[in-house]
Structure 1
């Protein structure tokens, strides 16, 4: 079993906290030393109380799914004898209301584009590699969000 640490830090820097007009910008710190500016999504909290240049939790969720899928895919493709040169995925998450009317990220669409050194897999083999990556992805196995890979 492993643990994964993140520290989230915020302090009031502007606005009126009691009236809800405070800055939502904050910082994420990870155990390896990386730090990121984060904020509420500007779709939820409009600027200037959010920071559109920062990472919001919804974007981070989509990125975590796409990143986990990619890492598994690359390893599975390597073990199958393929040599990837580049991998780019413009992933999109869709927020909808659930049965209780609460918003959630109900769907994430992955659109990976891979270039290969040498011959890449045929379409059917490529689909099988992505399916295996999805089946092994820790994040995908931890959520109920629908994840679809578009080739």
Structure 2
């Protein structure tokens, strides 16, 4: 169907937080030339000012879910005015080693005036978005929604 590519580039340098080891900082260049400063997680001697791969996986999932949610809500006659999410991925030990085992999405959605779906419809839209999200379909991590109150 489609291919999605990026370039990862790293050059040896001393780790600014630990002179006994190398820097984990690198650059991801996406298809249109956008550059993302990346590193390992701070838990693994990375630079906390950079994106880490775990954050990128969690963000990719949240972004995919949101894009499907927006499309489905629009088709159902519930145009979204604002959407925010604070997803959290849990890196845990498994029999295969460390893995992101759980991701909790916490979307908060504001709809246009007079176009608020009821709780059941909102849950159905989220369920449909989750089912269609190809990032979610690619992960083994358990994905759950914390819909809380907006």
In structure 2, the residue corresponding to 1:93 is in which secondary structure? strand
Cα deviation 1:55-101 (Å, max 9, x = unaligned):
0000000000000000000000000001101100000001111124x
Task: Tell me which of 60, 79, 83 is aligned to 1:87.
Answer: 83
Unaligned ranges ≥5, structure 1: none
Shift of 1:121: 0.8
Structure-1-length-normalised TM-score:
0.91
Alignment-derived partner of residue 23 in structure 1: 23
Question: Which whole-Å CA distance do the structure 2 matches of 1:38 and 1:99 have between them?
Answer: 28
- Cα RMSD, aligned residues only: 1.3
- After superposition, residues 129-144 of structure 1 pair within 5 angstroms as 129-144=125-140
| Corresponding position: 1:103 with 2:98 | yes
Alignment-derived partner of residue 10 in structure 2: 10
| Corresponding position: 1:117 with 2:112 | yes
Unaligned ranges ≥5, structure 2: none
Shift of 1:13: 2.3
Question: Which whole-Å CA distance do the structure 2 matches of 1:127 and 1:20 have between them?
Answer: 51
The alignment of Structure 1 onto Structure 2 pairs a total of residues equal to 143
Structure-2-length-normalised TM-score:
0.91
Question: Which whole-Å CA distance do the structure 2 matches of 1:96 and 1:23 have between them?
Answer: 24
